[in-house]
Chain A
């Protein structure tokens, strides 16, 4: 089966600019996760969708981050405006159902904010 797709793979922006990431989960996976992974740390959940509804966004910095999954399939994560501390790898993952099922990760988008 095709894996989780993400684009772009790399992005370099200056602080205060905007950036958007895209994720296409595995076909049929209802749950989609966005994680932020800072170098040397474990993935930190930003937002979780079940179909097109938000299940958990408690750790999403809502003043600058937003995400949507309008049709319950692919998703976009946006940062506006970016800060230096947003430099990280942004991982998208999907699973067939909710917790208790394997998450499949995409290749990630490495964001560098200068």
Chain B
């Protein structure tokens, strides 16, 4: 089955700096890659996603890049703000199945 690895597990940045979280996957058939943000005690919420026919997608301060050859994708958050502090999960999906990474706890220091 699919194996998704996520790094780093924790990340601290100063407010205004950028944050990058990386995920790798093992199954080349995976074709949908969502990123979720989970605040403490709350449900995961989709913040951005990318499909395998696209190399990059951007939504305001958030962007995701995908390298199908290397089987890795990354989340980029620019101009970080304290409210960006949360746990971020990547996932890889093919057909009916979703596999999640282990999460990155991001802390933005004011």
Q: Which residues of A contact B (CB under 8 A)?
A: 31, 33, 40-45, 48, 50, 55-56, 58, 91, 98-100, 102-108
19 contacts between A and B (CB under 8 A): A41-B102, A42-B4, A42-B6, A42-B101, A43-B44, A45-B99, A48-B96, A50-B96, A56-B97, A99-B95, A100-B31, A102-B34, A102-B49, A103-B46, A104-B46, A105-B43, A105-B45, A107-B42, A107-B43
* Contacts known (A31-B96, A102-B46); A42 close to B32, Cβ less than 8 A: no
**17 more CB-based (< 8 A) A-B contacts, given A56-B97, A91-B43, A102-B46:** A33-B98, A41-B102, A41-B103, A42-B4, A42-B6, A43-B100, A45-B99, A98-B96, A99-B32, A99-B97, A100-B32, A100-B93, A102-B49, A105-B36, A105-B44, A106-B43, A107-B43
B49 lies within 8 A of A99 (CB): no
- Count: A-B pairs, CB below 8 Å: 59
Q: What residue of chain B has the Cβ atom nearest to residue A3's Cβ?
A: B43
- In the complex, whether B72 has a CB less than 8 A from a CB of chain A is no
Q: What residue of chain B has the Cβ atom nearest to residue A33's Cβ?
A: B98
